[in-house]
Structure formats: structure tokens, C-alpha cells
Amino acid sequence: MVNFLVRRVLQALGVILAISLITFFILNIVPGDPVQIMLGDLATPETVAQVRAQMGLDKPVWLQYLNWAGNMLRGDFGSSYFQHRPVMELLLVSFGYTIRLASFSYLLAVTIGLAFGILAAVFHNKWVDKVLMVLAVGGISAPNFWVAIILQIVFGLTLKWFPISGAKDFSYYVLPAIALGTRYAASIARITRNSMLEVSKQDYMRTAEAKGLRDWLIVMRHAFRNALIPVITVAGTDLGNILTGSMLIESVFQISGIGKLMVDAIGQRDLPLVQGGVMYIAFICVVIYLIVDILYAVVDPRIRLGGGTRSE
Amino acid sequence: MSDIILDVKDLSMSFFTDQGELPAVNRVSFQVEKGRTLGIVGESGCGKSMTSLCVMRLFPSPPGRIVGGSILFHGQDLTKLSKKEMRAIRGKGIAMIFQEPMTSLNPVLTIGKQLTEAIMAHETVSKAEARARALHMIDLVGIPMPEKIYASCPHQLSGGMRQRIMIAMALSCKPDLLICDEPTTALDVTIQAQILDLINRLKNETGTSVMMITHDMGVINEMTDTVLVMYAGQVVEYAATGELFSRPSHPYTTGLIASIPSLDREEEELNVIPGAVPMLYELPEGCLFCPRCPYATDRCRKERPELSEIAPGHQVRCFRYSSDGKEERP
Amino acid sequence: MKKLLAAMLTAVMLLSVCAFAGAENAKVLRFGQMDAKVGYDPQTNTNSGATTTEDCVVEPLYYWNDQNELIPLLAEDFPTISEDGLVYTIKLREGVKFTDGTDLTTDDVKFTFERMFKPETLAKSTSMYNMILGAKEMLSGEATELAGFEAVDDYTFKFTLVSPFSCFHKNLGIIYSAIFPREACEAAGADWGVKTLIGTGPYILKSSDATGNVLVKNTNYWGGDPHFDEIDIIFYDNNNTKLMAFENGDIDLCDMTSDLFMQYQGTEVEELCHHFSKLGTYFFVTNNSETFRGEKNPLADVRVREAMSLAIDRDLLCEVIQNGLAVPATGMINQFQLGFTAREPYEHNLEKAKALLAEAGYPDGCTITATIRKQDEADTVQIQSDLAQVGIKLNIEIVDAAVWSSERAAGNVQCLLQGWFPLYADADNNIYTFFHSDYSPAKSCFYSNPEFDALMDAARLSTDDAERQKLYEQADEILSRQDYGSIPLYYPYGVFAAQPYVKNFTVGNLIYHVAYDIDYDMDIYNAQK
Amino acid sequence: MSKSKKINSQSYYRVSLAILKKNRLAMFCLGIVIALVLIAVFAPWLTPYDPNLNDVRNRFKGPSWEHPFGTDEYGRDILTRIFYGCRISLSVGIVSQLLASLLGYFIGVFAGYYGGRVDSVLSFLIQVFSSFPFLLFAIAVMFILGPGLMNLYIALGLLGWTSTARLIRGEVMRLKNSEYIQACIVGGGSGWRIIMKHLLPNCVPTLIITITMGIPRAILSEASLSFLGLGVSPPTASWGAMISHAQPYIRKFAYYSLFPGFAIIICVLAFNILGDGLRDALDPKLRS
């Protein structure tokens, strides 16, 4: 188990390094010069050149990367060109909002997703199954920012059940969590249902029945435990997407999370902030993949004790 | 007459599919006596596994349904029981082991968990007691180091050991009847013999009666007291094992016995029953075996024979034997 | 024992109630706007969004009120200018204190301007003040002291310019030249405008984070009692969400775009919408250089530019696209500007346009590409449709702000829609900085007409407004009626939404001065709460 | 070792078609998809209006006989723009997914078939690109390439391939052990021939499934990019752009935002359900 972890951690670090290289390269060929934006309409060619020199933007790309990487290893992500605050501080603040939004919507997604998935599988081909699955497919199909706008108007403004924007306390996160969460609840429900159906055809399910166990014990301990493996994969990548994909929801509900920070930063070409942000998100994604692998081992002993091959 | 613990009368079960009603089990009757072993034999697809699943009511219920007959277990008709009552019998009254040991155990639960689960489903015992019982069962089925096995997972055991665990699991609540659905087919020969000996030993020690389903006439000969020969959902011959092997009457039975390769007879060619088992949705008019029967007559092609008793305890479904049991030569 | 406990409990209850009550009738103004995300140091950003906050905390020597008049603020009176227009003598108001308790003296003014010209400050608006003697030397690092600044005594100082510049004291009315306290600013260093911002203004910046800024009343403000106990500037980057928050009563005042105003026409919210005139002009910038991206540039020919002007239906743009929030332009200088003169409106004549195009050698029209930002899409799509009717095919490329400003600065844009707003009501800041041949290339306009440049330079030097008015009239006549350097479209009106209890608030030009005259009509306010 | 025989394509697909036909919901959605394709192709003949001609005088006319879906802020007929938008959304969906599947197939096949160092390098690549924040990557690519339909294809194509690659890699590793492929290898077949002639037919079912499931995701991504102002350049009509333009008017003219929204939902829903149906019909594992 230990070398399994070490190998995965090393691979994770490699991935983060690769992502930092790719991001740095892309940000350098993205058109639009941050200094030009900084100086705005009053910029004259000489001042632009002078400022670029001061910020070290005139050095060759690889040198800039080495400086940046060197600082990063010391924990200094540099400071934002425009907000003049250390990138790490900005990321931590906005990550706080994103974590709250992501955890609410993820909790919603997992609970509803698993519940719908198991119910649909247990009542396979009955009306419950059909209704839940159409709802699930519907959940995936609607563009989440469109759903967000409609929720905001209907439940926020007209019915005044929930605040329409901001992020002060729990009630502020209800609508955004619904808008963001439905899509992932739907995908978890579908994968759970299919996985449960596939598992229920296995021989050990018949053995469980032959033992005369109670229904819910068969469903939960035997079917669900085995169905969990593919669900974990989807749930893992979904968490990654929620953490990074919530930018549209954040902009509609004015929650200054990481997604919105990144979109604005790219708009302003705030390179250190974008670079730091992408590293942060990549780090989160890689950590999630690690957790997913560990969860695999916890749920499936064939991996934990070696010997078994995990199907992709 | 030792008392009969399982009495199946005219059991019929069909699958209702879009190709119409498919009679998988067609008016099958048999009895299992206490402490004795009943064998059910036939080519695959003849309904022998389906019959055992009917007894346990484990067949897939949306397409399949019992359409007739009764299954009396200690006088109780299992076809009339509610799900809850049936659940109380499964594993306690009647236990079952299956053909594929590799996939019959839950891969993500430890052996110990799956054993204690069976015990605690039927008896209110403490965890410690259940654990002790489980360890005793592992030892009983002849597996060394029960503690280690208790804590390990299915993928760490060989096929033979897993089948032993299945047997331990089945017998953990001292059932009256153990149904074995081709328990050794997936195992190689040496392990096969050990498993069969184990079943016999446990049968004698615990007095459980056994219902052995197989397509291997050798297993029938060695293990069973009475034999039921099935073909395309129907019983074609029912007799004591000795009687069946000494006086095989139905052409299908003689064909089966003839196709057992024996070491001493010098035959170049194995004799084989030509043709194949008919599909349930293309059952022939008359006798179901007629297309493959060397003695087929016009009558066989038009009428379907009934079971007739040609000797005490020896029934055959074939026109060649009139009701008085004499063998008529064509 | 129980009685004692009960007594304590009631005491606590009472305390919390009044504390709560205290906060209850505090007069709080909640203003909704975009998050400028550029920090709050007036020297290092030129963003109007940030100015709203800076405006409440720091103060320059003069200020432009909402009626677009220049009023002395930290300076006691207007500067006395020497004969040759080079030396400006200004006397500071006495007894003014910064909110950190230190006195406002000449030394603070010296510190502020020297900080502006230090290269490492990266100040953005040095071009408005680098006519002070010694400024350019400081910027290039040759000098560390500002030669053109002389402290006569604690409250009097002199600026010496390199060359006469009639608008110099007008530039001192802009927030970019707000006076900082030397001690606090030096102490804050890089955090100035990020974590701390101290000035002489009516409010103190209490907190600033991603959701908004909180400004509390500066109780010993030198200029009288500020109207509000607290001003909350709440950030809404999405205009729709902002307006919904306004309707929901979460904010008291916010700006509004024309397309959103459309939505409220005919609803009860319309009464809460107030118009204000802007000093800028929207025009369609045409790249006048001979070739564009290697090919012959049709826009180089004045007849093509005039044809475009004839093809564009300005009335439709103002009434429909801008929902009546604009007036067709008759020249490049805005209607409220020094230098504006009434002319008859631009003709809208498709036949004449086609004739001109044929004359210019494009009988069956030509193809040009507009590179615009998302917010300019509405007007440009309408112009695209208008031009199509005379055979000019306009391709539209929407790019993001960063690409747009880089491409425009590099002269790589053929035509674009541009709103250009001066910081104060003076033509110099309006058209000099855009169409003078030195500045025009960086705007992808490449307009250069020596006669026009001469007029602009002369107007810059003269200090007599009547004379400057005539000079600008001639310049505008050349630019927008003869050369068609670019095609003026309309003078825009702004609109803002204010709750019923908000009174005497207006917007002079671009900046929402929430610290000036705005106040609450308390009986409506209490009735509604 | 799995015992999957060489897929005898005729019977395999005939059986798949039979299963698919039984799934009434999937057939209904197949009907919708075909209808959408027809709309996209024959848009000009379906409506008298020019989608891009501004007729500002009668802007924001509610749904009426001449304009069943009403008009937008430039007076253009919304139903017409939805028809033309269908062209954009479908082409974005289909072309980008074809590109993504092509990329995904070859990287997946090489990783799965050659294994060893090639596999670890390519899997590393897959891991890197799937850890990238998807929308941010799309935004950056759109900035580099600039606005326009072609760039949209490339941007979405470049991003969608990791899931396909991972699936194909798993499939190929499973197939590689089957006797059938071993026989080819022993028979001296060249790697390339095996990949193209033998592995490809076996992977086609997976590819069909990933493409059908990928198209809706691509359509939704196009909508998100348009919402951020990065989609197609005006005046071209795309559903995503229509929604983002409709946002300021949503409370007074709700129909302007609702109709394109429903168009996206119906199209994406149809593809998703069809994708499910195809997966049940084509995926050997599920066909027991």
C-alpha cells in the first residue's frame, strides 16, 4: 500500500509540474499585454516598454518561468499585477467561498444522486425508474447558468424565499448549490443506477438472497458496496469539475469564488494570479484523484491487498 | 419409509417473454427423503437448475412465474409463502450452493463477514458466538488456519477453497436440505473429488438431505440414491440409482449412460446422442425426444407419452413401455 | 440565586437591544457597482469604479462638482498664474487634518507629487502632470527631487511648468493628484491603497474585501458634517443581479446600462431611474492609414468615410438601440463642452453615400473589419446592418478587453466603436488626447492634419476661454465635417437607479461622487424601513 | 482472460439495432436528432426571414403569427435564429466530438496497445489534460485562436478527448489479452495493421457511445463560452449567444431567453437519451 501511495504522489507532482509549464506557455502566447491594460488609454510606447522592463516581462520566457518556479517552491506565488495583493492571499479568500459553494452543491449532488440511483435500480423498469431517469437526464441537459438565472428570478426576486446574490450565510448558497448541483446529482444518479443494475446480475447477489438476508441488507451491503467503485470515479471527477466549473454560477450569484477570480484575472491578463490559480486548481484536482484512488483501495480489497486488477 | 422432507408435485414454471410462454419446468414431480441424496441430471438447458431455483424461489420473477403444482417442504407449500416467510426458510430450512465459486462470493467483503452474516440472519446470536460458529464451520469443511481465512478476502482463495466456504456458509444454520447446483463443474477433477467427499461426509454427520444437480453421470452414480432424468423441462425417467444404471429404460437415459467414456472398453469413437436439445419456443409435437430417438415411431411423433411405472419406484415416459412395464420391441 | 440570574439576563438583553438599536437608525448608504479589482491608490489606477471609493477618502487640491464646475478643495483659492503662464502659486487651506491626526502641510503635497514621478510607483496618469519642471527627469530616474516644486512656507507652494498649459490647474482637480499624508503613505509602502488608505476626506476606509468596501464617517471632517454614518459599496459584476438587488431593496443606489433601462420602461421602477448627461461622445473610429494588414485600406479615402457617415442612421441608434438615452452628435466635441457649437445634424442619405462610394472607386461596395468589445456589440451590429444597405460589408470580431487594447495600441484595428470620455469639461482632454497626430496612431486612427494640430496646440497654450472656444470650433469643423477623421455618432446620457428616499444626487460626468451632495429624505426613509 | 470473439460486424450491429428499436424512448430521441439535423440543413427554406437582417422598428414583438417565437432586440425573428442556431450548435457538437474522438482514439489505442513506457507517458498526458480546469483552458484557447466557428471546433475538440482516451485505453487493454488479437500478433501482423484493421472495429461501439455522449457536453460548453462572450462572432446566431444576449431582457421579455434555453435542453436531452440507448445496445457487457 505504501509504495502505491508514493508512486501516486510522485506522479501527482509530475502532473502539477507539467500543468505549470503548459499554463506558463499558454499565458505567454495569449494575445493582450497586461501592461497595456494597466496603463490604459494614457499609455505611450515608451512608458509601456519601461514598465515591462521593470516587471521583468522583457526577459525570455524560460527565464521568467524559472524565476516564477523558484519563488513558487518557496511558497511565494508573486503578487497580482492589478490588485497588488499576494496571489496566495487572494486565492485563499476566494477558495473559501468556492469551498462553501462546492461542498453544499456536492453534498446535494451526492445525496440526491445516490438516492435516485439506488431507487431507480431497485424499482428497475417500473415508473419510479423511468421518472427518476428522465429527471436525471433533464438535470444534465440544462445549461446550469440558464437554470441559475431562472432560479434567481423565481425563488429569489418574486418569491423572496432566498437571497438573490452575495455569500453571507447558509441561505445564500441554496440557489447556487441547486443550480450547480443538479447536473452532478444527475450524472451520479445515472452512473449509480447502471452500476447497481450491472452488479445485481452478479452471482454473489444470488448467494446473498440464498442466505435469506433482508432486502435492504442485500441492496446496501452487497449491491451498493460493489456498485460504489465506478461511482467513486465519477464522483471524484465531478468534485474536480465543481471546484473549477462554478465560475458561471459564481458570476450570476455574485459569489467571488475561484472560478470568477480566474475568469476576471484572464480578462485582465493578471498573469501571476492566473498562473497561481491554475496551479491551485490543478493541485486540488490531483489531490482529488489521489483521494479517489485511496477510496478505491478502501472500498475494493482486491486493490488494497494487490493481486486484483482494477478495471479502468 | 424415512419421512419425505421435500415433496414436489406437478411443478410447472414458465417464462412469459415476447415470444410467448416458454414452459421451462413442465409438470415435474419428485421427493427427497431425509438423509438421502436425489440427483437431477440432463443436458444443460433441460430445466434442472430452474427446478432447483423454483424450490428456493430465486428464479428471475419478472419474466418467470410458477404456473402450477406444489412444493411441500415439511408439509408447507413453498409456492404459497409470502416473501418474508420464504426468506425465513432460505438458508435455514433449505440452503443452496452454486456452480461458479469464483464469482459466488462478494469480492469486497471478508469471508468472515459473509459467514457471520448468514448465521445472524436466522439466529439472534452475539457477534462473538457467530464468529466462533463461523470458525468452526471453516474448520468443518477442512480448510486449515480458520483465523487467517476468516479475515481474508475471496480473491485470496483458490476455487476449491471458495467452494468449501460456500458449503460452510450453506450449512452454517444446519439446513434440512442442501441443494447443490453443479457444485464441481467449474473445478478441476482432483478438487472435484474432494468437494464431493466433503458433501457426503457432512451429509452423514448432519443428516442433511442433498439435492445434487449435475450433467455428469459419474457424479450421479457415485453420490445419489435416487435419480431424476430431465429433458427439455420434462421428467423422462425417475428411479433408484442402482435400478437406473442396471436397467436404463428411456432411450435418452441409455444414450447418456452409453456416452460415459470408460477406461476398460476399447472404443475408437465416443458414441454421441445426435442432434441438440430443442429450444423452448420450438418444442416438437409428440414426444420431445422424438427427433433424436433411434426408436422413434409415428406414434411418438404425434402423441406425447405419459410417465408410466414400469417397476416399483421406476417411472419412464416412453411408448415403448406399456403401462404393465413390459418392454415391447418394435 | 435564580433572581440574580434573571437580573443579569435582562441586563444583557437590554444591552444587546440598544447596541442593536444603535446600529439600527445609523444612516447607511448602500451603493452597488462593479468590482474594479485594481486596488485604491489613485496614482496607480485610472479606473472610474475605484474612484468612487477613493473619492470619499482622499482629496485633491481642487474638485469638479456634479455641475462640472472647478471648485477649490484643499487649496484655499484658484492659483495665481505668472505672466508667462509657467509659475502657479497655490495656498493650502489651513487647519485641515488627515484622519490619522497629522496636519496637511506643503510637505505632504511635495511628497505626493514626488511619489507620483518615482519610476517604481508605476503611476498611471503621469502624462497629465509631467509638464511640471523636473517631472520627466524623475520618471527616467535622473533626478530624485521635483525641480518644478517650491515650498514657500508650510501652507504655500509654487509649481513651475516646462511650457504653458492652460488646463494644468484643471488637471489638479482630478482624483489622480489627491494629496497623501507623508508618514502614513511611507509607512504603508506597497500596501498603500490595498490595506490602508488615509486622506483628509469625509469618510474613512474601514474594510475592503472581495464582497465590497465599508466607509465610516470621518467625525472631525474639516468640510462640515458628512451626511451618512456609513457608506457600503457592494460589488455586483453582473448587471442583472445588481438591478435585482436594487429591486429587492438590498442596495439604495446603482448605475444602469441602457439595455437594462429598456426592461424597466413602463414599470414602476422607471420612476426611480434618473438621467444625467455625460461629457463624452460615441464615435466610429476609422483607420485612416493607406494600407491595412498589407492590403489597400478603403477607409483611407475621405469619401468612403463620409459615405459611411451618410449611411449610418443616428436617430435609430439613439431612439432604439440606446433606448432614447442618447442625442445624435453633430461634431466630435460633446454638447456640454467648451468648444461645442451647434451645427445642423449629419445627413442620412443612402443614395448620396452610394454615389460617393462609386466616386471613390467602390461602385459595388467594399469589406472592412471591426474589432470591438462585447459591450459595443449592440451599436456595431446596427451599424453593420446600416452599412450593408450601401454595399459596405462590415465583419465584426468580438475580442476581450485585453486583446482589444493591445490591437488598438498596435494600430492593428481597421475600425471600432469607441466612447471617449474626458475627465472634465474641456475639449483639450476630449479630442487633443485622441486626434492629435502624436496620439492618434496609438488609437488605430492615424488621423493627422497639421492645421488641426496647430489649432489644438494653440488652444492648449492660451488661457483665455473665449479664444479657446473659437480655436476648438475650427478644429472640430475640420475633424468631423471636412476630414471625417472618425464618424461621430451620439452624445450619450447615463441613467442611475435610486430608491425613493434618496435626494439631490446627480452625476456630473463619469464618476459617482457618493460623498458630495447625496442625502436621505428621512421621513420617506423611516416610513419605508 | 476474456473470451470476446472477433465481432462479426453484420450480426453484431443487426442485433444492436434490434435492441435499440425496442427502446421506444431512444427511438423517439433518434427522431428528434434527425429532425434537428434536417432543420439545420434546410433552415433557409423553413423560414422567410433573414436571421441577420435588423428590423429594429418591430423589436421585442411577443410571440405572434408572423413571429411564432417573437423577435429579439434587433427585431430579428427568434424562431429563424433558433433554426440557424441549430446549425451552429449541431456542427460545434459533432465536429468537435469527431476531433476529440479521433485524438482520444489514437492516444488511447497507442497507450493501451503498446503499453510499457508508451502507456505511462500517454497516461501521464491524459492525467495532465484531465486535471486542467476545462472552461479556463477553453477560454485561453479561444483567446489565442480568436473568435469564430472554426476556432470553436478546435478549442472544444482539443479539450474533450481525455475521457475517450481513457475508455479506449481500457477497452484495448482488455481486447489485447483476447486470443483473437494474440493470434494476430503471433501471425506477425504489424502493430499499425492490427490497430486499424482489428482493434478499430472492436472500438467502434465505444466510439459511437462517447461521441453521442460528447456532443451534448460540447453544445453546453459552447453555450457557456458564448455566455462569457467567447462564442461565435455576431451576427451569427448560436443558442448560447442568444441566451447571453437575452439576459438583460429576461424579466420583461422572458420568451427571448426561454426559447433558446428549451432548444438547448431538447437537443442535449435527445442526444443523452440516444447515447444511453446506444450504450445499452452496443456495449457487449450490458447485452446479457
Mutate to test the interface with B, among A211, A215, A228, A304 (most CBs of B within 10 A): A211
Provide the CATH topology of domain C58-185. Answer: Dipeptide-binding Protein; domain 1 (3.90.76)
C245/D contact by beta carbon, under 8 A: no
C269/D contact by beta carbon, under 8 A: no
In Å, how far is A232's CA from the nearest CA of chain C?
A: 34
A263/D contact by beta carbon, under 8 A: yes
Residue C7 pLDDT exceeds 80 = no
Cell 438621467, residue located: C275
Cell 516587471, residue located: A55
Minimum mean pLDDT range among A109-123, A285-299, C94-108: A285-299
Q: What is the mean pLDDT of residues C438-442?
A: 85
CB contact under 8 A, D229 and C398: yes
Q: Which amino acid is at C379?
A: D
- What domains lie within chain D, and their CATH numbers? 3-287 (1.10.3720.10)
C396/D contact by beta carbon, under 8 A: yes
DSSP string, chain A: -HHHHHHHHHHHHHHHHHHHHHHHHHHHHSSS-HHHHHHGGG--HHHHHHHHHHTTTTS-HHHHHHHHHHHHHTT---B-TTT-SBHHHHHHHHHHHHHHHHHHHHHHHHHHHHHHHHHHHHTTTSHHHHHHHHHHHHHHHS-HHHHHHHHIIIIIIIS-SS-SS--SSHHHHHHHHHHHHHHHHHHHHHHHHHHHHHHHTSHHHHHHHHTT--HHHIIIIIIIHHHHHHHHHHHHHHHHHHHHHTHHHHHHTT---HHHHHHHHHHHT-HHHHHHHHHHHHHHHHHHHHHHHHHHHHH-HHHHTSSS----
pLDDT of residue C155: 93
CB contact under 8 A, D127 and A142: no
Helices first, then strands: H and E counts in chain B: 12, 12
CB contact under 8 A, A94 and C210: yes
Q: Is the dihedral of CA A255, A260, A262, A265 positive or negative?
A: negative
pLDDT of residue B2: 56
Structural contact between residues A193 and A126, judged by C-beta atoms closer than 8 angstroms: no
Q: What is the mean pLDDT of residues C208-235?
A: 91
CB contact under 8 A, C385 and D247: no
Starting at the edge strand found earlier in the chain, the sheet holding C156-160 runs C80-81, C87-91, C156-160, C149-153
User: Which residue of chain A has the CA closest to C40?
Assistant: A83
pLDDT tens digits along C335-355:
888 888 888 899 999 999 999
Minimum mean pLDDT range among B265-274, B287-296, C110-119, C173-182: B265-274
Name all chains with 3 or more CB-CB pairs below 8 Å to chain C: A, D
CB contact under 8 A, C259 and D233: no
Starting at the edge strand found earlier in the chain, the sheet holding B94-97 runs B94-97, B177-181, B209-214, B37-41, B226-231, B234-240, B314-316, B308-311
Residue C247 pLDDT exceeds 70 = yes
pLDDT of residue C87: 93
Report CA dihedral (C244, C212, A35, A93) to the nearest 10 degrees.
Answer: -110
Q: What is the mean pLDDT of residues B12-21?
A: 85
Of A39, A93, A267, the CB nearest to C209: A93
Minimum mean pLDDT range among B46-55, B287-296, C196-205: B287-296
Helix (H, G, I), strand (E, B) or coil at C403: helix
Q: What is the mean pLDDT of residues C149-157?
A: 92
| Confidence grade of residue A1 (pLDDT, cut at 50, 70, 90) | low
pLDDT tens digits along B261-305:
777 766 666 677 777 778 777 788 888 888 888 888 888 888 888
| Confidence grade of residue D228 (pLDDT, cut at 50, 70, 90) | confident
Let me know if chains C and A touch, i.e. at least 3 Cβ pairs under 8 angstroms.
yes
Q: What superfamily does domain A96-266 belong to in CATH?
A: MetI-like (1.10.3720.10)
Residue B136 pLDDT exceeds 80 = yes
User: Which residue of chain C has the CA closest to D51?
Assistant: C385
User: Which residue of chain D has the CA closest to A309?
Assistant: D174
- Phi then psi dihedrals of residue D214, to 5 deg: -80, -30
Q: What is the mean pLDDT of residues B226-239?
A: 89
What is the share, in percent, of chain D residues with pLDDT greater than 90?
16
Cell 479615402, residue located: C301
Q: Which chain C residues contact residue D248 at CB under 8 A? A: 239-240, 257, 259-260, 262-263
pLDDT of residue D4: 41
DSSP string, chain D: ---PPP--HHHHHHHHHHHHHH-HHHHHHHHHHHHHHHHHHHHHHH-SS-TT---GGGTTPPS-SSSTT-B-TTS-BHHHHHHHHHHHHHHHHHHHHHHHHHHHHHHHHHHHHH-HHHHHHHHHHHHHHHHS-HHHHHHHHHHHH-SSHHHHHHHHHHHTHHHHHHHHHHHHHHHHTSHHHHHHHHTT--HHHIIIIIIHHHHHHHHHHHHHHHHHHHHHHHHHHHHTT-SSPTTS--HHHHHHHHGGGTTT-HHHHHHHHHHHHHHHHHHHHHHHHHHHHH-GGGG-
Helix (H) or strand (E) holding B31: strand B20-33
Report CA dihedral (D130, D135, D138, D140) to the nearest 10 degrees.
Answer: -110
What is the share, in percent, of chain B residues with pLDDT greater than 70?
94
In Å, how far is C36's CA from the nearest CA of chain A?
A: 9
Residue A310 pLDDT exceeds 50 = no
Q: Which chain C residues contact residue D56 at CB under 8 A? A: 316, 320-321, 382
CB contact under 8 A, D143 and C374: no
A201/B contact by beta carbon, under 8 A: no
Q: What is the CA radius of gyration of chain C?
A: 26
Q: Which chain D residues contact residue A153 at CB under 8 A? A: 250-251
The distance in angstroms from the start CA to the end CA of chain C is 41
Let me know if chains D and A touch, i.e. at least 3 Cβ pairs under 8 angstroms.
yes
**Closest to D278 measured CA to CA, from D10, D5, D23:** D23
CB contact under 8 A, C240 and D247: yes
> What angle is formed at CA C385 by the lines to CA C384 and CA C386, rounded to 5 degrees?
95
pLDDT of residue D100: 92
The residue count of chain B comes to 330
pLDDT tens digits along A102-118:
888 989 899 999 999 99
> What angle is formed at CA C312 by the lines to CA C310 and CA C317, rounded to 5 degrees?
145
> What angle is formed at CA B167 by the lines to CA B164 and CA B170, rounded to 5 degrees?
155
C-alpha cell at C306: 463620409
Query: Where do the structural domains in chain C lie, given as residue ranges?
Result: 2-34+204-252+499-527, 58-185, 281-492
Please state, in angstroms and rounded to a whole number, the distance separating the CA atoms of residues C410 and C427: 25
Q: Which chain C residues contact residue D249 at CB under 8 A? A: 259, 262-263
Give the A window 12-51 contacts with D, CB below 8 Å. Answer: 14-15, 18-19, 22, 26-27, 29-32
CB contact under 8 A, A204 and B100: no
The CATH code of the domain at C2-34+204-252+499-527 is 3.40.190
- List the beta bridge partners of residue C494: C276
Give the C window 360-389 contacts with A, CB below 8 Å. Answer: none
pLDDT tens digits along A32-87:
788 877 776 656 777 778 778 877 888 888 888 888 888 888 888 888 888 888 89
- List the beta bridge partners of residue C71: C63
Structural contact between residues B270 and B324, judged by C-beta atoms closer than 8 angstroms: no
CB contact under 8 A, C263 and D252: yes
Residue A302 pLDDT exceeds 80 = no
Query: Where do the structural domains in chain A lie, given as residue ranges?
Result: 96-266
| Confidence grade of residue B322 (pLDDT, cut at 50, 70, 90) | low
Q: What is the mean pLDDT of residues D241-267?
A: 88
pLDDT of residue B304: 84
pLDDT tens digits along B113-131:
999 988 988 888 899 999 9
Residue D263 pLDDT exceeds 70 = yes
pLDDT of residue C15: 47
pLDDT of residue D9: 56
Residue range C281-492 forms a domain whose CATH class is alpha beta
Name all chains with 3 or more CB-CB pairs below 8 Å to chain D: A, C
Please state, in angstroms and rounded to a whole number, the distance separating the CA atoms of residues C503 and C518: 6
Structural contact between residues B215 and B41, judged by C-beta atoms closer than 8 angstroms: yes
Q: Which chain C residues contact residue A38 at CB under 8 A? A: 122, 124
> What angle is formed at CA D193 by the lines to CA D192 and CA D195, rounded to 5 degrees?
65
User: Which residue of chain A has the CA closest to D261?
Assistant: A146
Structural contact between residues C94 and C12, judged by C-beta atoms closer than 8 angstroms: no
Please state, in angstroms and rounded to a whole number, the distance separating the CA atoms of residues A177 and C72: 52
Position with higher pLDDT, D28 vs D19 = D28
CB contact under 8 A, D144 and A145: no
Cell 405572434, residue located: D64
Of A208, A222, A308, the CB nearest to B155: A308
| Confidence grade of residue D208 (pLDDT, cut at 50, 70, 90) | confident
Within 10 angstroms of residue C209's Cβ, the number of other Cβ atoms is 10
| Confidence grade of residue C283 (pLDDT, cut at 50, 70, 90) | very high
Of A19, A153, A198, the CB nearest to D131: A19
Please state, in angstroms and rounded to a whole number, the distance separating the CA atoms of residues C389 and C308: 11
| Confidence grade of residue D288 (pLDDT, cut at 50, 70, 90) | very low
C384/D contact by beta carbon, under 8 A: yes
Helix (H) or strand (E) holding B57: none
- List the beta bridge partners of residue C216: C204, C230
CB contact under 8 A, C263 and D248: yes
**Residue A214: is it exposed, middle or buried by C-beta count within 10 angstroms (0-12/13-18/19+)?**
exposed
Of C125, C191, C211, the CB nearest to A166: C211
Helix (H) or strand (E) holding C343: none
D229/C contact by beta carbon, under 8 A: yes
Q: What is the mean pLDDT of residues A1-9?
A: 78
CB contact under 8 A, C402 and A269: yes
Q: What is the mean pLDDT of residues C289-316?
A: 91
Across chain C, what does the average pLDDT equal?
87
Minimum mean pLDDT range among B9-13, B295-299, C14-18, D99-103: C14-18
Q: What is the mean pLDDT of residues C496-507?
A: 89
Q: What is the mean pLDDT of residues C475-495?
A: 91
pLDDT of residue A308: 39
Of D54, D230, D251, the CB nearest to C263: D251
Minimum mean pLDDT range among A177-181, C434-438, C472-476, D159-163: D159-163
Of C35, C241, C250, the CB nearest to A253: C241
pLDDT tens digits along C512-527:
888 888 889 888 888 8
Helix (H, G, I), strand (E, B) or coil at B282: helix
Distance from chain centroid for Cα B180 = 6
Of D73, D229, D234, the CB nearest to C396: D234
Helix (H, G, I), strand (E, B) or coil at C217: strand
Q: Which chain C residues contact residue A252 at CB under 8 A? A: 238, 240-241
What is the share, in percent, of chain B residues with pLDDT greater than 90?
16
Q: Which chain D residues contact residue C259 at CB under 8 A? A: 73, 248-249
pLDDT of residue D10: 64
Q: What is the mean pLDDT of residues C71-82?
A: 92
Please state, in angstroms and rounded to a whole number, the distance separating the CA atoms of residues C9 and C15: 10
C262 secondary structure, DSSP code: H
Across chain D, what does the average pLDDT equal?
83
pLDDT of residue B280: 78
Residue D150 pLDDT exceeds 60 = yes
pLDDT of residue C59: 93
Q: Is the dihedral of CA A162, A164, A169, A175 positive or negative?
A: positive
Angle between helices D149-159 and D200-227 (to 10 degrees): 120
